[in-house]
Structure formats: C-alpha cells, structure tokens
Amino acid sequence: MNKPFVVPVKLDSICQPPSSMVLLVDRAFRALARLGVIVILVLLAALVFEIGGKAIPGIQKYGLDFITGNVWDVNQHKFGILPAIWGTLYSALIALLIGGFFGISMAIFLTQDFLPPRLAAVFRTIVELLAAIPSVVYGLWGIYVVIPAIRPLTDWLHHSFGWIPFFGTTLSGPGLLPAALVLAIMILPTIAAVSQDALSAVPLKTKQAAHGMGTTHWEAILQVIVPAASTGIFGALVLGLGRALGETMALAMLIGNSNQISLSLFSPANTLAALLALNFPEAGPNEIEVLMYAALILMLITLSVNIAGSLIMAYAKRGNKK
C-alpha cells in the first residue's frame, strides 16, 4: 500500500530516516485504528440487524397501526405507541428550548470576555461536571426537589390560565414539565460545551473588525460572532436533541408513565425509552416483538434527527464558503 519513503542517508545531518521500528509502530497503529472503525460499524450493523430482526414479527402483525394507535393493552394484544412518540418528541423539544437557551447563553457568557479567563475556566469545568452526574441522581433530584418546587407555580398557572391548553391540568407529581426541566439540565453541558468551542473558533480578526465598524459589545456578539458560529451552535443543539430523545432512566422516574396525548405541560405522559425500560423486565414473547418494534422506531427517530442535523450543517457550511 504505502511505500516507506526513502531518504538518502547523510552522515553529517542530525536528521535520521524513520527506523524500521517506527515504521512498524506506525503501521500497527494504522491497522488498529482501521480495525476500530470496522468494529464500530459492524457493531452498529449487528445492533440494527438484531433489533430489526426481532421486530419483524411485530411489524408484520401490527403494521402502521402500531405507530398510530394509542392503546397499550397486553390482555387484548393491542399495542399502540402514539402517546409515547408524542411524549418523546414533546418532552425533548421543551427540553431543547430551555436547555438550548441557557446553554447558548452560558457559552456566550463564558467565551465573550465577560469574565476573567481563569474564572471562566472554573465555570466551564463546573458546567461540564453536570454531565458526570448519573441519570438516576437526576431522577431522584427531580422527584424530591424539582416537583415540590414547581408545584405552587403550576397550581397558580392552572387556576389563573387554565383555559390555555398548556396549563389545562393540575400538576400532581411526575409529569411532562418536571421531566422536561430535568432533561434540559441534562443536555445543558453538551450544548454549552459544543457552543463554546464554536464561539471560540470565530477568528479574533472577525471580532476586531466588528468592533472596528463601531458596533457595541452586544451588537458584535449577536450580529457577527453568533451568526459566524451558527453552524457549530446548531450542531450543539442537534447533539442535545439526540441525547434528550434517548434519555431513559431520569425520564422513566419523572415522566409519569401515563399513556395519553395531552397538550398540557402538567399531565403525566410517557416516552418511548421509558416505555421500553418499564416493560422489558417481564415481557413475554408477544411483548418482546412489539417492544423491539418500539425500539426500532426510537432508533429511527434519533437517527433521522441526527442525519437531518448533519445535512443542514453541511448545507450551511457550503453556504458560508460561497
């Protein structure tokens, strides 16, 4: 494949051609890296194959009704996951709105000279530490801190603005809003970290040029720097959304596990991941196939979100270069 390049040996030079040992290590590393890539691809293919294969009987039996149905009744063999799809998308979108807003704000705050660099580094580390907290701890925190804390507010919203569908029910405990709030905090480190990288990558010249044009600090940030970093920030949001769609443990504890489609933020709901986690432990053969089908749908949703994100980013990059 690659011919080791040959350099004529000059005895008076301090340079030496790579020894055969170095070349060997080089080649071995390359092979290892290639193997790693192949293993990952094979693993992914095996996963899709395994889940898809086990889902086939379910797909044949229930077809599209599975996606559009809203009854989950093991006794009557009726399975529909529309409420779970709805809950997955609804909770992830709300989490993305909240987490995205705070994550990007935080990235701007930490990269645009609002803080002395050392302090900014400390804050950055603290935000990144959020990513190290286990999901189950977030779940418990949601149950014992978030729910009691937001209940008075939600009661007030319901009794004052109950005619707005978003506030149409009372918050009893676990429900969509507490789940989305905790989810927002969980995706915050991802969004903040990736956005920070994007913002730091904006060349200093661009910033100086903006200031030179006579913009204020905020005008420079909002009209020049953020647009220049928009591709990276968008990528951060897509990554955050992907994480929000697949999050399981905290949501299984907080979403309320209730198979309904409701616009109300205070209603208990369900998500695909929570449905899977709750139903797998004692599922019989009939149920395994529908759960595999549900897993496949979840995978398709996250995959299409990521592909759409990459496509938009690629498109935006091309647009920038023109």
Which residues of this protein are in contact with another protein, per CB under 8 A? 70-71, 73-76, 143-144, 147, 151, 159, 169-174, 256-260, 262, 267-268, 278-279, 281-282
- Pick between residue 74 and residue 307 the one whose CB is nearest to another protein: 74
Using N-to-C axis directions, what is the helix angle for 82-111 and 272-279, rounded to 10°?
120
Angular region, 10: left φ>0, alpha ψ -120 to 50, beta rest = beta
Kindly state the smallest distance separating residue 161's Cβ from another protein, in Å. 15
Q: How far is CA 60 from the centre of its chain?
A: 31
Nearer to another protein, 259 or 302 (CB): 259
Task: For 48-78, give one letter per residue: b (16+ CB within 10 A) or e.
Answer: eeebeebbebbbeebeeebeeeeebeeeeee
CB atoms within 10 A of CB 313: 16
Nearer to another protein, 171 or 305 (CB): 171
- Give me the least distance between CB of 153 and another protein, in Å please: 14
CB of 284 to another protein, least distance (A): 8
Cβ closer to another protein: 160 or 200?
A: 160
What tokens were used for 239? 């990554």
Q: Residue 143 Cβ, how far from another protein at the closest point, in Å?
A: 6
φ/ψ region of 113 (left if φ > 0, alpha if ψ in -120 to 50, else beta) reads left
Nearer to another protein, 148 or 212 (CB): 148
Provide the greatest CA pair distance for the chain: 89
CB of 286 to another protein, least distance (A): 13
